[in-house]
Amino acid sequence: MVSTIKTAIRFTLVTTVLLGLIYPLAVTAFAHFFLREKADGQLLVRDGHVAGSAIIGQSFTGDTYFHSRPSLAGNGYDAANSSGSNYALSNKKLIDRIQGDVAAYQKTAPGQAVPIDLVTASGSGLDPDITPAAALYQVHRVAEARHLSDDAVQQLVLAHVQGRQFGIFGEPRVNVLALNLALDGVAGK
């Protein structure tokens, strides 16, 4: 019996050191040296300053920017509280919020159906992307606020559409931060 307990303790210590220390450090070192951009959060830099992450959404307000999906993670786009609201489709708070968001968007594009991803949060609440339809829906508002032509802003959106991963996984998408940074670049010219 003592022999079995000693073996169990040694096994626990060895696996703790291997799987709890050595393996995580090896993976971290590999990522740091060979996949640095991904390991550091795929940060987007503008004029020498970090503007945000390409993989974590952030809030954009005002008519001069494309808006992201709503976030219910903490106080909005809080990576420490990544989650959805878990409200049922019949929940009055969810229904009221969505109806309010739809009404606000319809003021900027009367008669057009509001793309669903502009009024519903993703499961994580941190989604950095919207559908091309959601980006195109916002073109007129952004173009008007920035005194640009709708066509110029639409071409910018189309240039930022990312296809399916490996041509088969997921759906086409537009990274909102990258699009807004490009929009600032156009407006700055």
Range of 2's domain?
A: 1-40
Residues 58 and 25 placed together within one structural domain of the fold: no
How is residue 12 written in tokens?
């626990």
Residues 22 and 35 placed together within one structural domain of the fold: yes
Residues 89 and 148 placed together within one structural domain of the fold: yes
Residues 30 and 119 placed together within one structural domain of the fold: no
Residues 183 and 165 placed together within one structural domain of the fold: yes
Q: Residue for token digits 């795929």? A: 42
Q: How far apart are CA 101 and CA 17, in angstroms?
A: 51
pLDDT in tens, 7-41: 999 999 999 999 999 999 999 899 888 887 777 77
User: If 0-12 CB within 10 Å is exposed, 13-18 middle and 19+ buried, where does residue 139 land?
Assistant: buried
pLDDT in tens, 110-124: 888 999 888 888 777
pLDDT of residue 179: 93
Residues 97 and 15 placed together within one structural domain of the fold: no
Residue 169 is given by DSSP the state B
pLDDT in tens, 156-189: 999 999 989 888 898 999 999 999 999 988 765 4
Q: How far apart are CA 98 and CA 91, in angstroms?
A: 11
How is residue 29 written in tokens?
């070192």
